[in-house]
Amino acid sequence: MKRFALLIVMVSLLLAVPVAAQPPGEKPFLAGVATSNITPWLGGGLVGNFGTPPPAKHVHDELHARCFVLDDGTTRIALVVCDNIYISREVLDDAKRQLTEATGLPADRVLISGTHTHSSVSARWSNPLQPAKEFTEYQRFIAHRISDGVRCAINNLQPARVAWSTVDLPGQVFCRRWLMKPGTELLNPFGEPDQVKMNPGNSPNLLEPAGPVDPQIAFLALETLEGRPLGLLANYSLHYVGGTGPNHISADYFGVFADRVQELLGADRQDPPFVAAMSNGTSGNINNINYAVPYPKRQPYEQIRRVADECAQAVCREYKALAWQDQARLDMRQRELELAVRKPTPAQLAHAQKVLSEPERPDKFPHERSYAQRAIELQNSPDQVRVILQAMRIGELGIAAIPFEVFSEIGLELKARSPLKPSFTIELANGGYGYLPTPEQHELGGYETWLGTNKVELQASTKIVNALLEMFAELK
């Protein structure tokens, strides 16, 4: 009888121990997610194309800051993906300042990026190299709402499991820069020759794409200890999709992906709500159009839904095979890198001054007057700019953050050389300073390399890759 009683006591004690209990002295891995609405009011200019930004007249779908906070018991980090084309560093610095003051979370443990949807109102200065003295009303609003979103994610922290993986989806990413057949006349805004053309259409002069694509979707997944989906952060190197309604505010495919993942995982109507996000990878030279074949005509939002669904389906198929972990080491590095600001050559400066001195003169070259103004702007800008770079470790997953529209070659190199596997890069993180081509792509010319589209020294990408690899090595 005594043995039977002892057995009952032992069984009772075993049953009282939680299934996911941590080893003695080990703190649980925590995760919290939340969203914050950052939709601008109607009337603001929808940026992303040449010419005067048209006013927003309709909100097709709300814009959000999608927030993820992770805590391994020693280190706490936050990642935020905002449905916005560009957010200046100073705006994001202010969001981090508010967050640090409210929660104590250090600013260098926060990564904030924009998706680069082309159907939003910009939160960037007209010249990101020369901040204005005061924020616009929308810049103040978005900084506050980002801080609020991360604070809510912190409030939602709970014991969690984490996993990560990758899946290839090659059919939705294409290089938008094309080498053209010999004899094709290509000139930049200063009348200088180019070898490649951005978005050339179905031209008979197409030769071949001028660069590679990165077909990989990398993602980080979070679930509760009971196995309920909690959050998912993905990354795909696709500039944006477009094809929205006229004068519509929209999160583009990034927002539809988040909604579709939630649906496929059966994570609707949870408390706290499930949060998914698609961050933008290295897509400065990538879009969704294959110019080698005729492009089919689509209805508004049709292609956005197609791309988002394919991405979500691919991720959710891989989701079923994830290896979940109760613990994952967190670590993060941040550096400020000083880069030289690109200046016009004497010939470009003289050309720009001549163009602007003749206000009635029609453009002789593509966007000639606009780039003349940009050349003068760069000439009058500071000679140096300091940009934030970040490298993050979540278990064996590596994440890099770069504040430019980054060429795919750069992301592919970082993935190949990073000691953390897998790794991915989030572009337009912690600011936005224009395009970041490689030195080799600079030699080919084209829109992304034009003075004014690109604002920093021609060797900037090399310096950035080297710095990030050093940071990854420290994390490993």
Between CA 116 and CA 404 the distance in angstroms is: 11
Predicted confidence band of residue 26 (pLDDT cuts 50, 70, 90): confident
Lowest mean per-residue pLDDT among 25-34, 70-79, 406-415: 25-34
| 34 SS3 class | strand
Q: Pairing between strand 177-180 and 206-209?
A: antiparallel
pLDDT at site 24: 46
User: What secondary structure letter does DSSP report for 260?
Assistant: H
**The pLDDT of residue 6 is above 80:** no
107-137 per-residue burial string, b: 16 or more CB within 10 A, e: under 16: eebbbbbbbbbbbbbbbbbeebbeeeeebbe
What does the DSSP assignment read for 153-167? HHHT-EEEEEEEEEE
Which band of pLDDT confidence, cut at 50, 70 and 90, is reported for residue 52?
A: confident
- For residue 443, what pLDDT is reported? 98
Tell me the CA distances in angstroms from 261 to 253, 265, 267, 336, one per residue in order. Answer: 12, 6, 8, 35
**Model confidence over 251-285: pLDDT tens digits?**
999 999 999 999 999 999 999 999 999 999 999 99
- Each residue of 285-333: pLDDT tens digit? 999 999 999 988 999 999 999 999 999 999 999 999 999 999 999 999 9
pLDDT at 100: 98
Residue 323, judged by CB atoms within 10 A of its CB (0-12, 13-18, 19+), counts as exposed
Residue 11 has pLDDT above 50, yes or no: no
Whether residue 63 is predicted with pLDDT greater than 70 in this model: the reply is yes
Query: Residue 82 class from Cβ within 10 Å (0-12 exposed, 13-18 middle, 19+ buried)?
Result: buried
Please check the confidence at residue 128 and state whether its pLDDT lies above 80.
yes
What percent of the chain is predicted at pLDDT more than 70?
Answer: 95
pTM: 0.94
Of the pLDDT bands very low, low, confident and very high (cuts 50, 70, 90), residue 47 is confident
pLDDT at position 227, please? 96
Picking from 421, 336, 428, the residue whose alpha carbon sits closest to that of residue 111 is 428
Greatest Cα pair distance, the chain, in angstroms, is: 106
pLDDT in tens, 142-193: 999 999 999 999 999 999 999 999 999 999 999 999 999 999 999 999 999 9
Task: Identify the DSSP state of 395.
Answer: T
pLDDT of residue 101 exceeding 50, the answer is: yes
pLDDT at 182: 92
pLDDT of residue 7: 41
Mean pLDDT of 348-372: 95
Examine the pLDDT at 9 and tell me if it is beyond 70: no
Per-residue pLDDT at 23? 54
User: Coil, helix or strand for 318?
Assistant: helix
Identify the band that residue 370 occupies on the pLDDT scale cut at 50, 70 and 90: very high
Spatial CB neighbours of 226, under 8 Å, sequence gap ≥ 6:
none
Confidence (pLDDT) at 21: 45
- The answer to whether 88 and 128 have CB atoms below 8 angstroms apart is yes
Tens digits of residue pLDDT in 388-420:
999 999 999 999 999 999 999 999 999 999 999
Q: Are 286 and 209 in contact (CB under 8 A)?
A: no
Measured between alpha carbons, how far is 158 from 174 in angstroms, rounded to an integer?
40
| Model pLDDT, residue 235 | 98
Residue 354 — very low, low, confident or very high, per pLDDT cuts 50/70/90? Answer: very high
Question: Chain-wide mean pLDDT for the chain?
Answer: 94
pLDDT given for residue 468 in this prediction: 98
> SS3 helix, strand, coil % of the chain, rounded to 5?
30, 30, 40
Say if residue 458's pLDDT is above 50: yes
Q: Please say if the pLDDT value at position 1 is more than 50.
A: no
Dihedral of alpha carbons 47, 253, 164, 147, sign: positive
Contact indicator for 35, 66 with CB cutoff of 8 Å: yes
